[in-house]
Every structure is written in C-alpha cells, then in structure tokens.
Structure 1
Amino acid sequence: MGELIVASNGTRAIRFGICQRCLSTDVRTFICHHGSCAYCRNCLYLGRVCRCDFLQERDITTPLETTELTMPFELALDQTRVANQLLTWWDGRRTGLVHAVCGAGKTEMTFPVIERVVNAGKRVLIVSPRKDVAIEWVERLERAFTVPVTRRYGGGEKDSIGMITVATAPLLMNIRDVFDYVLVDESDAFPFAFDIALWNTIRRVGRGVFLFITATPTVWQQMFPTVHLSRRYHGFDLPVPALVKQSDERIVEFCRRHTLKPRLLFVPTKPDLERYRETLEDAGLTCRTVSAETEERTDALHWLQETNGVVLATSIWERGMTVRDVQVAVVESEHRLFSTRGLIQMAGRAGRKPDAPTGEVCFFYKERTFRQDVAIRKIKEANRR
C-alpha cells in the first residue's frame, strides 16, 4: 500500500513484456548498463524503469486527521437529496453515479460525504481529467475543509498523500491501494474516455468504493446505481442551442450582438483558431485563443470575464470553466471531433450563475448531423424533468 519506487530488490519492473507500474505493454529495447534491455514508454514521465529494475512499495501517507466542514452556501432541496444519497452509498460501501446537468453545483454536493469519509479515518481522492479542473477543485476544497489538500498534478506535491488528495490520473500510475473513496469528476471526458490504462490506474489506487460525476455519462457508467439532478441550483432551464447556418458574417454578427458580454466560440482544431481569429480581427473585434498548448489558461479566463471580450477555444474549455453571463457559439458544430457529449458540455457553459441564469447558445453548421440533434434533444429533455 503506497507508492511504487525503484529499489535494489522486490518485484521485477517488467515481467512477460508488461510494465508492473502501469500495466502497459508498450515496451521498447535500449542499451543499459546490463546490455540490451526493455523499458516502458507509457510511464516514462515518472522516471524510466527497465527489465533489470525492481519495484517496491513505500508508504507516503500522512498521519490521520479529522476535519471540519464550512459549506460555501446552503444546498438547495435537490442538491440535499443528492448529498444524502451519496452518504447512503458510502455507508453501504457502494459505487454510484451522479448524473447532473452542467452547472448543477456538483462539487459542493460531494462535501458532506467527503467530511464523513475523512472523519472516519479514511482517505479521499478526487481525480480530474485536466490540471485546470483540478486547480478549481483544490480552491473550493481549501475554503470548505480544515485539513490540507494534497495536490498531485503538474506543479503539485508528489512526496506525500494526505486525507484529501486532488490529482490527474497519469500521476497516480505508481500508487497502490491508498484511497478508501475515489471520486472521478467528469468521468466521461478526455483522457478517461479513450485510455483503458487510466481506468486500470484509478481502479488500483482505490479500495473498491468509487463515485462517478458527470453531466454526460457513458453507457457502462449508467450500469451503476444512479442519482439524477436535472435542474441547475438556481432553478432556471438550461439554454437550448439554436442551429444557425454558418457564414463568417453570421459569426461576426453573433459577436457584435453581445458587445457588452463575454463571448466564447468553440472551434474544432488548433489551425481553426488562427483562421477564425483573422476573420474576427478583420471585422474589428479583439480576441484571444485558448488550446491545450496555452500555458496560462486562467489568465485568458480572467481576461474574458473582466473585459467582456471574445475567446476562441478548442474543446479544452468544454468543461471546468465558468464565466458569468458568457454567450456561447460552436463553430463548425458538425465536425467529427465534436461528439454529442461535447456539444452538451459546451452549451452548458452558458447561464451558470444565479444573477445571469440565461444566455445565447448557437450551433453554427455547414451540415446538419445526428449529433447536433441529439444534443439539443437531451438538453430539452433535461428541462422537462
């Protein structure tokens, strides 16, 4: 139970062509001090392990602590119902799914069960799909709980594990059987949706009790006991996207129609960022671009809110970002990179604040697709529940 480290004896790091740290079979041959040897490429960022290395477990957990919870706001009736269900599942040591619409206040609904787990002398892990989502979790947890929150993501701590840990999945590959309660946020998002090795990692760090949280669950996640929340905490409907035939003039007109509000335009690929940026700048609009390679995405988020500007973003911002009164458009919404779940999440960026509970959402299209229609239908169904 603990962290796997390279040692002078123990379990062979690579056995039968399988890395014992990450269970990958992506091994390559290189020349080491023992001659020709195989090393694992999949977990190379944790330090190279080869066939002649050994792995041992090291306990890096901190002493047990209790905590006090200060809720940032009083939960609404539906949120309280979900929070009570999570407590019931934990008492019965059951895995479950929270299927809640975008902007329902999912984070705060988990705080009561986190408090109960920690005060029972157990450790909690929150797994996030991306670093910026993890940072938002840490900020909210630190305001609500008195115990320190361990950060296990890029730029965080990797030498200890406290009572509450927030992590991205790749940095958990060398951890075994430490956490009693594992909460997977946005459990259908990239990279979870496409990497079975990450699910093996998440399974091995826990001790059997998991909670999946998302607005767009996959089919296999819906096989678990599920609690639904179809209304946002402020009680207003989800904004329903409008389908608009795409042209540069209509995209510019959308931006000009909301001059006094933040505007967020999703585009399919990184080359599209520059192409549409030129279109908007030629029309006299000032904008910024955000992609996975943008290092300071938080700065762009603050700029969008403070200046009521225009940001062009790839799907990196389809989750985990909230801007008051933002107006949303999806450019080339028929693109194969935009799944139904992704379109729902992008539309869910609008109307998240109680003092700005509505907003315009446009799906610009060159072709109509089944994915667009299903996304709109699911949003309307959630509003009718």
Structure 2
Amino acid sequence: MEDKDVIYGRLWLKGHLPDDIEHTADAIESTYQKNRRLYCQRCSALMETKNQLPSGAYYCRSCIVFGRNQSDRPLYAVKPKEFPKGDYLNWQGQLTTYQSEVSRALLTNMKQQKNSLVHAVTGAGKTEMIYAAIAEVVNTGGWVCLASPRIDVCIELKKRLSRDFSCPVCLMHADSEAYHRAPIIVATTHQLMKFYRAFDLLIIDEVDAFPFVGNRSLQYASEQALKLDAVKILLTATSTSELEQQVANKELEKLTLARRFHGKPLIVPEFKLLLSMTKHLNQKKIPKSFVKLIAQQRKTTYPLLIFFPIIELGEQFAELLKTYFPKEAIGYVSSQSENRLETVERFRHGDIGILVSTTILERGVTFPRVDVFVVLANHKVFNAASLIQIAGRVGRSLERPEGQLLFIHEGITKAMKKSVKEIKLMNQKGYSNELSTVPN
C-alpha cells in the first residue's frame, strides 16, 4: 500500500491492511445475528447457508464485488483523521431569497444535529443551497460525502464541486480512478460500503432514485458510513411516502422550495396521442406524424432529448432516425453504452443535436435550452416520479426558462396524470405563500 492516507475512515478485510496498521486498527465483527440468522456487517444482507466455504465459514455474496466478507474473519476500521482547516468555498454566486432560507435552515439543523430532507423542484438550485453546509464542515477540518445512486449525477457533482471548492475532491464509482483521501468525497451510494464511521456530513442527492430507494443494504451502508454524531441531508425533487413518514416521525426535518432559481414555473407536459408508435417501430419505421413533430422542433435549432422506456427500442429508434434526418448529428445513450459520458458531453456542447436516451438521464443532468419528447410515455417504466424528473430537464436555464415538453403516448396512464398534477401543484405553491416551507 503506497499511500497509507487511504486507510482512514474505511472498512477493510483481513489481510488488506499492512500488518503494523492491522494490529492497531479497530477489529469489527464481520457478521451480526438477528432472529438466529446471520447477516453481513458490511451490507446487512443475509448470509445464506448455501454460501459456505470448505472451512465451514459463511460468506456474503451481496457485496462480494468489494472483496469476500466471511464469518470467521473480522473487518477492520481505522478512525478518520482531521483535514487541514481553511476557507475552501470559491463560489461567488448569489442565492435567491428562498434558497438562502433553505441554506440557513440546513446550517441550523446541523448545529442542532438534526437530519434534513430538502424537497425542492427540479431546477431549484439544490446544489448551491448545500454549499454553506459543506463549507461549514470542510473549513473546520471535517469530512463530507456527497453521494447519489446515479454515476452520471456523481460526475456532474464532481465537476461543480471541484470548480466551487478549492480543497481536493475525490470521485468514487465502479469505473473511477484510484481513491485518494480528500475533504469532499463524491460517490455512488454503493461506494458507501467502503466506509465506516467516517463522515461528519453525508448528503444524498436524488435519494428517491434507483437503486438506493427501497434498497436496505444501501440505506444500511449510508448509516454506517456516518460518525455517530454526524448529520445527513437528503435531497429530492420527488419525495416518497417512506421519506414523508420519516418526517412525520421527526427523524427528518423537511425543507421545501417550490420555485426554480430563475423564478419561472415548471414546464407542464403536453400529451400527444400516437397509437401506431409501437407498430411502426416493429416494422422499422417512424410514424409520419412523429417525423413531422421532430422536423418542426429541429427548425428551432434547440437541442432535442428523446426518452425511450426500453434500451432495445431506443437504440433501434436512434438508428432509424439517422435515415430520416441524415444531416443531423444523432446520439444514443443507455446504461449499457460504453461511450455514454463522452456522448452526453458532446450533446451538452452542441456537437450532437438529437440525443436518444433511456431513463439513465432522467435526473441530475442539465442541458441548457433543451426540448424533451418522451416516447411511449404510457409505458410502465415511466412512473410519476420518473416523468416529473424527465419534465424537469426542460426550462432549467436562465437563458431559456421555457421549452417544448411532449409526452407521446398510446393511452394516458395514472402516472402521466399524477405527474402533471404534481407539476401544477408545485407551480401553484411556487407563486403562493407556500413557496418555501422552512420551520421558524
């Protein structure tokens, strides 16, 4: 191990630390028992009896990607150490009055050791609202982790934090560069399994997103990564019943912001019925009416983001679209795309005019001036939260706070209706005294 600084605040398997450090590290039971069943201490998954080694020990398959945790060997943790104190916030921007209210409330909650839920509409400027909280911790030598379930969101956050803070920022995901110790960690929620009683502040962005939502192991890991006296901040534009229950139970202090930073309303989707979409795609054709919609949009020269519910359909559509619009630069991304990050950047910089995507880009990414079409919006993949997030890609920028947003469907679903109802409700709150709900 060349850089011994990487050991602090992390959870290690036996034999993965140098001997001299392992002897002084805290040994932690690798399992715990509940109702006479054995569970993994790292991820809380059940250690099934079928996962038994010749020695008789059991091991956890759920988190084996991080190395094999087995019942006859302890885990090791090395206590975190302080970072150099400083004044690290470079950001010179100005928060709106309502953003400032939320920012101040977060600082108050931190001082009172209260966990917070920030429920703010897409484009409200959630990232900027947490800057003061991050600075409060890192300026005094503390450790902050900003986690998200989505790699694309993490990459975007890393760029912004590296620009707006002068201290080192480390990005952690499955394909990232080697870990280095830094006052600010940006990580996918899976990476939290590598830490133990480490962070003074944990912020989880897009807390309602897959795979974090409803995932007991990831939620367990997020709690275990915190110091015992630490605070967490959860960020969402689409709250869940589980989160609201935690608010009701006083486990979270809810802060609400119902207006975008530029003061303009959320874009309300327009429904377009197109019954023959699936039939045409199966015949390797695009309906004439849809081709016409795209052609009209392209005259505006604004970038166009087209969402599909299924990887195969989206990929097929993107290839078809190139034959209909041969002069257009057309890209496609999904969770399986090897060059996804490069393609997204090309779209952001205007090198690609039309980008076809799965729900991988439904949240956490900003494309200035973009229009959005959701194809087969009636598909079961598009639940209300997903549709609200997708709708939130439109009208985010100050240079174009409006835009075209179409839900192209083969029959209106409850999810479609619910998404529109929620968007209209947030717009109503955004222009009433319910705009910002911050406890006095």
Aligned to 2:242: 220
- For residues 258 and 72 of structure 1, the distance between their equivalents in structure 2, rounded to whole angstroms, comes to 36
1:13 pairs with one of 30, 41, 45 = 30
Choose 136-145 or 304-313, whichever is displaced more: 304-313
Q: SS at the partner of 2:411?
A: coil
Residues of 1 paired with 2:169 and 2:118: CA distance? 23
Other-structure match for 1:376: 420
Within a 5 Å distance, the mapping from 1:333-352 to structure 2 comes to 333-352=377-396
Say if 1:234 and 1:63 are closer, same or farther in 2 by CA, change over 3 A: closer
Aligned to 1:67: 87
Structure 1, unmatched stretches of 5+, are none
Alignment of 1:1-385 (within 5 A): 2-7=9-14, 10-14=27-31, 16-27=37-48, 29=50, 35-59=55-79, 61=81, 63-156=83-176, 160-206=180-226, 207=228, 208-222=230-244, 223=247, 224-246=252-274, 247=277, 248-259=287-298, 260-285=301-326, 286=328, 287-305=330-348, 306-307=350-351, 309-385=353-429
Partner Cα separation in structure 2 for residue 229 and residue 55 of structure 1 = 42
SS in 2 for 1:220: helix
* Identity %, equivalent residues: 32
CA–CA distance in 2 between the matches of 1:74 and 1:144? 13
Distance 2:253 2:288 in 1: 48
Equivalent residue letter for 1:6: L
TM-score of the aligned structures, taking structure 1 as reference length: 0.93
User: CA 1:150 to 1:284, structure 2 compared with 1: closer, same or farther past 3 Å?
Assistant: closer
Distance 1:51 1:105 in 2: 45
Question: Any idea what the Cα deviations from partners look like across 1:20-49, whole Å, max 9, x if unmatched?
Answer: 2211115465685x5454321111111122
C-alpha distance in structure 2 between counterparts of 1:35 and 1:372, whole Å: 55
Whole-angstrom CA distance in 2 between matches of 1:332 and 1:196: 31
Q: Deviations over 1:44-79 (max 9, x none)?
A: 111122233321212464634333312242112221
Deviation (angstroms), 1:308: 5.2
Is this contact kept in 2: 1:29–1:37, CA < 8 A?
A: no
Question: Higher mean Cα deviation, 44-53 or 152-161?
Answer: 152-161
Could you tell me how far 1:100 is from its partner in structure 2?
0.8
Q: What is the letter of the counterpart of residue 41 of structure 2?
A: Q
Distance 1:116 1:35, change over 3 A: closer
- Work out the CA distance in 2 between the residues paired with 1:27 and 1:159: 31
> Normalising by structure 2, what TM-score?
0.82
Answer with 133-142 or 356-365: which moved more. Answer: 133-142
The answer to whether the 8 A contact 1:188-1:214 is kept is: yes
Secondary structure of 1:103's counterpart equals: coil
The whole-number CA distance in structure 2 between the counterparts of 1:149 and 1:82 is 24
| Alignment deviations for residues 70-110 of structure 1 (CA, whole Å, 9 cap, x no partner) | 22421122211211111111121111111111111110111
Q: Distance in 2 between matches of 1:275 and 1:296?
A: 17
Mapped to 2, the partners of 1:156 and 1:301 lie a distance apart of 17
Distance 2:51 2:108 in 1: 52
Distance change in 2, residues 1:182/1:326 (3 Å): same
Provide the C-alpha distance between the structure 1 equivalents of 2:121 and 2:265, rounded to a whole number of angstroms: 10
Q: Write out per-residue CA displacement over residues 269-294 of structure 1, whole angstroms, 9 at most, x where no aligned residue.
A: 11111332244234235422110011
Contact 1:14 1:39 survives alignment (8 Å): no
